[in-house]
Amino acid sequence: MYEDEKLVCEDCGAEFIFTAGEQEFYAEKGLVNKPKRCPECRKKRRQNNRRRRRMYDAVCTKCGAQTQVPFKPIPGKEVYCKDCFAQENAQS
């Protein structure tokens, strides 16, 4: 049903392949527009958007390390550093 399709990146002008598998994934998620950017430009764009995110200083509830989190900590609520957060998720 789906076939690989060549597209042109609107940012860098490079050709890239919109694979049949990607097209199927887009359809499953209800996405109707084709990607406008090549994978490299999409990655750069995501990284730039992450850099703009405001980070807040906090102290890890579990280990006491200084860390930064992408939300404003609320007094009395637990806050974890990356390592402790990963440990908590692994235990769940």
Cβ(54)–Cβ(32) under 8 Å?
Answer: no
pTM over 0.85: no
For 33-83, write each residue's pLDDT tens digit.
999 999 999 999 998 877 777 889 999 999 999 999 989 999 999 999 999
- Residue-range domain boundaries for the chain: 5-52, 56-91
* Phi, psi at 59, each rounded to 5°: -115, 130
- For 37, the token pair is 């950017």
Quick one: pLDDT at residue 18? 97
Residues pairing with 5 in the sheet: 18
